[in-house]
Structure 1
Amino acid sequence: MLHLYLKSLHIIGFVSWFAGLFYLVRMFVYHSEANDKPEALQEDWKKQYTVMQWRVYKIICNPAMMITWTCGILMLINSPYFLEQGWMQIKLVFLILLTLYHLYCKGIIKKQETGKDTFTSFQFRLLNELPTLFLVLIVLLAVVKDLLNFVYLFLGVLAFGMTLFFAAKAYRKFREKPND
């Protein structure tokens, strides 16, 4: 029974974590686009986005990540045989990469706060798709487990990533098209 409660909290944690990361990087896009606003508005908008980014990072992303990791580790302590399974080992690698992405986002907040950010809004839009790839990989690994052919998984996620990239490029072209 303990395992089911931990699993429930783990799922709640990772759903919240991903929601926070998606929203956070979307704000990076808006922060970057504030440079396109009239100069009188730019500074106020950037300050407001920075406040919002820190709140999302500290109030949503960090606690959700900690809940996800804590409950996941407790489940592994409760059922250590999962660590011997290949899908779990790969899932843990992706979770470590996702955590590094999370920390990288903190660095972006600091750069935007000091005006040293060099990314374009389009690059942030692409960066915002990265957690989607992590989400797909991690969920497929957790649900399908050993039945999954990892080569097909990799190729499928690669194709999905390419689709996201081309969709983002098409959207950028659509947004930049002059209104007739």
Structure 2
Amino acid sequence: MLHLYLKSLHIIGFVSWFAGLFYLVRMFVYHAEADQKPEHLREAFKKEYILLQKRAYKIICNPAMMITWTCGILMLINSPFFLQQGWLHVKLVLLVLLTGYHIFCKKTIERLERGESRFVFNSFQYRLLNELPTLFLVAIVLLAVVKNLLNFVYLFLGVIAFGMLLFVAARAYRKHRESK
């Protein structure tokens, strides 16, 4: 029974974590687009986006990530036999990479706040960056649901193909926006 409660909290945590990451990076897009605003509005918009980014990171992303990791680790302690399964090893690698993305977002907030242009992207690049968690989400959910029935090569190729599809869609959307 404990495992089911931990799994429920784990799911709630990762849904919240992904929601926070999607929201956060979308604000990076808006922050980058603030440069196109009239000069008298630009700084006010950027200050507001920094405030919202910090709040999203501290209030949504960090607690959700901690709930996800804590409940996941507690599930492994409660059911250590999962550690013998290959799908879980791949999932853990993806979670470490996702945590790296999470930390990268924090560094981006700090760079934007300092007004640095180095390692700061344009709005299209942030739109692409905003799709990265989607790839993690698809891969992690497929691994967790299908488990060892999944061919990891097909998963990898499928995620790459899905990523290319997202890139093509983002480029098409950018061309559509620019034509207006």
Q: TM-score range by the shorter chain?
A: over 0.9
Give the counterpart letter for 1:104 in structure 2.
F
Q: Paired residue for 1:143, among 145, 168, 173?
A: 145
Offset of 1:46 from its aligned partner? Answer: 0.1
SS in 2 for 1:134: helix
Give the counterpart letter for 2:132 in structure 1.
L
- 1:61-80 superposed Cα distances (whole Å, 9 cap, x missing partner): 00000000000000000000
| RMSD (CA atoms) | 0.6
Q: Look up the match of 1:162.
A: 164
CA distance in structure 2 between the aligned counterparts of 1:137 and 1:116, rounded to whole angstroms:
33
Give the counterpart letter for 2:163 in structure 1.
G
Say yes or no: does 1:31 pair with 2:31. Answer: yes
Q: Look up the match of 1:68.
A: 68
CA distance in structure 2 between the aligned counterparts of 1:33 and 1:152, rounded to whole angstroms:
37
CA distance in structure 1 between the aligned counterparts of 2:157 and 2:13, rounded to whole angstroms:
28
Give the paired residue count: 178
CA distance in structure 2 between the aligned counterparts of 1:175 and 1:107, rounded to whole angstroms:
29
Offset of 1:151 from its aligned partner? Answer: 1.0
Q: Look up the match of 1:122.
A: 124
CA distance in structure 1 between the aligned counterparts of 2:152 and 2:99, rounded to whole angstroms:
22
Normalised by the size of structure 1, how large is the TM-score?
0.98
- 1:90-145 superposed Cα distances (whole Å, 9 cap, x missing partner): 00000000000000000000011111143100000000000000000000000000
CA distance in structure 1 between the aligned counterparts of 2:95 and 2:83, rounded to whole angstroms:
14
CA distance in structure 2 between the aligned counterparts of 1:167 and 1:98, rounded to whole angstroms:
23
Q: Look up the match of 2:108.
A: 108
Question: Is there any run of 5+ residues in structure 2 with no aligned partner, and where?
Answer: none
Give the counterpart letter for 2:23 in structure 1.
Y
Question: Is there any run of 5+ residues in structure 1 with no aligned partner, and where?
Answer: none
Task: Tell me which stretches of 4 or more aligned residues in structure 1 moved more than 6 Å.
Answer: none
1:69-88 correspondence runs (5 A): 69-88=69-88
Normalised by the size of structure 2, how large is the TM-score?
0.98
